[in-house]
Structure 1
Amino acid sequence: MNKSIEIDEKIFQDAVKFYSTMFNLPPLASKIYSYLIFDFEKVGITFDEFVEVFSASKSSVSTNITLLLNSQLIVDVNKMDERKRYFFANEDYKKIRFEKIVQKMQDEIKLLDDLNQFRKVKDEDYDQKIEVYKSLLNKNIVNIQESLNKL
């Protein structure tokens, strides 16, 4: 079986390292995801191609594909006239990723507010620093949400 896509080995290795760190992925999952981002024509990559390209066991490939599907980094499609599943990098993942970041920042602001209300001792210096920090979080939330609306 020939590779259905062309990759640049240096860029591929850089991508594997980056996505492994960025998404905390195991090595094979990072390789699969990095391989998929080279699918510029959106032809899709089959399970069998991953097994062959990475010389990995079917079990390992299956486990790592499941991890990527569950984390919404990739999607799969069954074509009408074939039994095979084709895998693609999830184009919506950037939006999903930043929505999660916004949610974490909102959760942190709520936690800070709850802690501040619970606190019995008042400290103006501490309160001022927390307000500056919350302001930074809120500005980033607005900035990210404006960018997400453009996506």
Structure 2
Amino acid sequence: MKKRILLTGINILCVITLFTNCKNDISKPNIVKITPEKYLNIKNKINKKTIIHFWFSYCSPCIKDFPELLKISKENNIDIINISSDKSDSKMQDNLEKVMSKLNVKDCYIIDYDNLYPNGTKYMDILGDFAKKIKLKEYTNPYYILIDESGKTIIATEEIEKLKKEIK
């Protein structure tokens, strides 16, 4: 009888441990704020073919193209740097986290709103203002920049098909 109780207790502990470990494996996406200076620093250190991917969690074309982008990256051994134009520290950032989880995207930068607008603002053009600060032509989401091993821009486009043609 004591053996049976002991074995039942051990089984219960094993199930709890297994459940806890599985739950810990389902981690929240990693979202890090990015400033224009940090972006330029990251871009200048690229030494492997990389796609810089600008997107927005409420953008239907962005979400639709994400699986294709991940496939391109995996098949061609290309790194992706995801940068979201969702407003940081808001409900938008919460939505970004949900969309990333749904798309199985682990890492993403989010434009640091407070850095971009240190005095606050009622009018926001996060895309345009960030683009100006990083000396990039104004873009819409999604936007893809393919960088080669030497850090040179191969193509910058809003169309995933053009990106795919340049990679092949």
Task: Specify the TM-score bucket, using the shorter chain as the normaliser.
Answer: under 0.3
Higher relative contact order (CA 8 A, sep 6+): 2
Give the TM-score, by structure 2 length: 0.24
Give the TM-score, by structure 1 length: 0.26
Structure number with the higher strand fraction is 2
